[in-house]
Structure 1
Amino acid sequence: MTVCSAPVPVDTDWLLQVARVGLVKSVDKFDPDRGVEFLAFAIPTITGAIRRLSSTPDGMSALRAGCRR
């Protein structure tokens, strides 16, 4: 599904895939012995994955796939 009416048109399927990769990385890197809740660790990791993708020209092209300007 593509949301072209959003402020920045994005392909939501691609965005969800990037978020899932961030979630998997969170699960792999999480250390419960550090005394931090999983969500407090996972949310910045997931949003960081999305921000890294959206900060590159190729990433933005992939996110905007299917939308015409």
Structure 2
Amino acid sequence: MPTLTAVSEVSPAASAWREWLEENGPKLLLFARQQSRSHEDAKDIFQDALVKLVEKVRTGEFVGGQD
């Protein structure tokens, strides 16, 4: 029977994304909460915004950020 081993390597892009999300996610969720009626609505808004961001990054449409 073959032995399964866990892959511990994460791509640099995935690592950078995780770091960005850990740093900015709570602030963005708080902003969404301030703009919505409930925590559940805020989570939906936050998720929708992240999906749009990822789509724009993947298609090269994203222009922004700070250096």
Q: Which entry has the higher C-alpha Rg, 1 or 2?
A: 2
Asked whether the two chains share a fold, i.e. TM above 0.5, the reply is no
Instruction: Give the TM-score normalised by structure 2.
Output: 0.44
Higher strand share: 1
